[in-house]
Structure 1
């Protein structure tokens, strides 16, 4: 299948509607029927303010980044990005073209769309 690798970059303590934002994103992806999503804590990095954040600095506790990623079809990406836009959230994201599929699929795997 053809689609996108869709990754959101959020702060680990950032919230939306009373929930951690990374949890909210995963929940919304699940509700939209996206086949899977993952969240990963960054061990270090910097953002637009160029402040270096590393997991080991106690004084920066809670300021690490979280990457929330999905491999999605074009339609799934549009729906998730539209939902984030409707919620008026300012989130940095990347979207990279991707080919994906399942080797030896079983009956629970969704069929690949006809080309």
Structure 2
């Protein structure tokens, strides 16, 4: 199949609708019944304002986070339409990809 790899970027301290932004995003993706997403927390990153984001033992709220998913064109359109309804800006990348299942075994659930 063909679709997109979408990655959303934020930091742990960002909140939306009373929740950590990354957790709210994961709930949106679940509600849209997207096939899956991976939420990663990084040790360090440089944001679009050239500011270093990192975690320290004293302060963990500035850790960089990213959520990556693979979506069909229709799923990607639904996700971005849903995000457009919200008063929040989220940096993202979207790249065309080919995806599917490899191997001849039965799919485990």
Q: Could you tell me the TM-score, scaled by structure 2's length?
A: 0.87
Post-superposition offset of 1:107: 9.1
Q: Which residue is equivalent to 1:27?
A: 27
Q: Could you tell me the TM-score, scaled by structure 1's length?
A: 0.83
Q: Which residue is equivalent to 1:55?
A: 55
Gaps of 5+ in 1: 109-115
Aligned residues: 107
- Supply the RMSD in Å over aligned alpha carbons: 1.9
Q: Which residue is equivalent to 2:74?
A: 75
Post-superposition offset of 1:48: 2.1
1:87 is paired with a residue whose SS is coil
CA–CA separation in structure 1 for the residues paired with 2:3 and 2:29: 15
CA–CA separation in structure 2 for the residues paired with 1:57 and 1:96: 35
